[in-house]
């Protein structure tokens, strides 16, 4: 195995070893250096309205079309389609910003998930979800248009309010 010694590779090793590692400005995730430095293309997501600071926070990047949005990652990858995921431990306090690289400028669908029990499977009754549009999700499957983000050569910044199940009305803001 070849070992590379550069500031960039050391940053990646440090971030990979600590999923909650944050760079300047509090940006978290394995792709944090891209957002903190303004190197794109990438998306920085500023998350608000978390119900609590437990479990894991996830960003998932999909193709921006109805057929592929929220399809299983293994299916998308097997077909050579775009899928990326960034997962971090929920921080104890402070602002929450996550970064995810995108392969090239374009339009993507972005889904934010708060897995309160740190599970790989979404728990409809406990977990939170958020989309770029911040429109109330309700009981229906989210629309790809509500998740779509246009990314140029730099860093696109998106603010997402987390929604949790709120009785028979489905998912909505917790406040």
Residue 124 pLDDT > 50, yes or no? yes
Round the average pLDDT of the chain to a whole number and report it.
84
Report how many domains make up the chain. 1
Mean pLDDT of the 116-121 span? 88
Adjacent-strand bridge partners of 173: 163
Q: Evaluate if pTM is beyond 0.75.
A: yes
Which residues form the domain of 73?
7-173
As a whole number of angstroms, the distance between CA 112 and CA 162 comes to 8
Mean pLDDT of the 42-62 span? 95
Mean pLDDT of the 132-157 span? 93
Q: Report the pLDDT value the prediction gives residue 168, as an integer from 0 to 100.
A: 67
Residue 153 pLDDT > 80, yes or no? yes
Backbone angles phi, psi at 32, to 5 degrees: -55, -35
Which range of 22-36, 69-83, 123-137 scores highest in mean pLDDT? It is 69-83
Tell whether 144 is covered by a domain: yes
Residue 63 pLDDT > 80, yes or no? yes
As a whole number of angstroms, the distance between CA 53 and CA 108 comes to 27
Tell whether 69 is covered by a domain: yes
As a whole number of angstroms, the distance between CA 29 and CA 127 comes to 20
Q: Would the CA dihedral through 101, 102, 107, 112 be positive or negative?
A: negative
Q: Report the pLDDT value the prediction gives residue 47, as an integer from 0 to 100.
A: 95
Residue 13 pLDDT > 50, yes or no? no
Kindly write down the DSSP assignment for every residue of 68-123, as one continuous string: TTT--HHHHHHTT---EEEEEEPPSSS-EEEEEE-SSSEEEEEEEEEETT--SS--
Which of 121, 19, 130 lies closest to 72, judged by CA?
Answer: 121
Q: Pick the more confident residue, 31 or 62.
A: 62
As a whole number of angstroms, the distance between CA 72 and CA 57 comes to 18
Residue 16 pLDDT > 60, yes or no? no
Q: Report the pLDDT value the prediction gives residue 120, as an integer from 0 to 100.
A: 84
In the block, tokens 């990979």 appear at 16
Tell whether 47 is covered by a domain: yes
CB atoms within 10 A of CB 49: 16
Residue 6 pLDDT > 70, yes or no? no
Reported residue count of the chain is: 175
Tell whether 2 is covered by a domain: no
- Residue 170's pLDDT band (boundaries 50, 70, 90)? confident
Neighbouring C-alpha atoms within 13 Å toward the C-beta of 174: 16
């Amino acid at each position: 195995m070849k070992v590379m010694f550069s500031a960039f590779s050391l940053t990646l090793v440090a971030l990979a070893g600590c999923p909650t590692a944050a760079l300047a400005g509090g940006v978290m995730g394995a792709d944090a250096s891209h957002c903190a430095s303004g190197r794109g293309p990438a998306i920085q997501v500023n998350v608000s309205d978390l119900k609590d600071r437990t479990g894991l926070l996830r960003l998932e990047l999909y193709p921006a079309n109805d057929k592929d949005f929220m399809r299983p990652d293994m299916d998308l990858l097997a077909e050579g389609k775009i899928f990326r995921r960034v997962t971090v431990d929920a921080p104890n306090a402070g602002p929450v910003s996550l970064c995810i690289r995108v392969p090239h400028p374009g339009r993507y669908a972005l889904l934010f998930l708060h897995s309160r029990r740190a599970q790989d499977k979404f728990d409809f009754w406990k977990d939170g979800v958020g989309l770029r549009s911040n429109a109330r999700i309700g009981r229906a499957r989210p629309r790809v248009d509500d998740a779509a983000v246009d990314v140029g050569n730099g860093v696109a910044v998106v603010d997402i309010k987390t929604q949790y199940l709120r009785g028979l009305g489905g998912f909505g803001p917790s406040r």
